[in-house]
Structure 1
């Protein structure tokens, strides 16, 4: 059985945990979210997507 989890869900849970444990403030979390939103519109988005895909494929190949 294969379980697929969206990276958006994983990162949102990470941000929520950081906010909960006060490791990051609300302003910093919003700034990071906006940075990711605007980064997705740049030419770097394709390279980032390819790198993340390669890493997730490598991790899934281990197990």
Structure 2
């Protein structure tokens, strides 16, 4: 779990940096995918899933 959490923090920082400098291409897209898979293995997964479900429910109730 410790290695996984370290990788999540490192990849999260790299993704944040690439988004900050507006440089996100295919290699960085794959990096983001790896980040998602690593987050799914950590204790943060239930929180991320409930947040995404909440946002999806909110957007589903909007009538534009």
> Which of the five TM-score ranges fits, normalised by the shorter chain?
0.5 to 0.7
Identify unmatched segments of 5+ residues in structure 2.
Answer: 1-22
- In the other structure, the counterpart of 1:38 is 38
| Rounded Cα–Cα distance in structure 2 between residues aligned with 1:38 and 1:30 | 12
Q: Which structure dedicates a bigger proportion of its chain to helix?
A: 2
Deviations 1:14-54 (A, max 9, x none): xxxxxxxxx62222111111000111000101001001101
Count of paired positions: 41
- RMSD of the alignment, in Å? 1.3
Q: Structure 1 runs of 4+ off > 6 angstroms?
A: none
Higher relative contact order (CA 8 A, sep 6+): 2
Q: What is the TM-score of this pair, normalised by structure 1? A: 0.57
Judged with a 3 Å threshold, the aligned counterparts in structure 2 of structure 1 residues 25 and 62 are, in CA distance, closer, same or farther, namely closer
Q: What is the TM-score of this pair, normalised by structure 2? A: 0.56
Identify unmatched segments of 5+ residues in structure 1.
Answer: 1-22
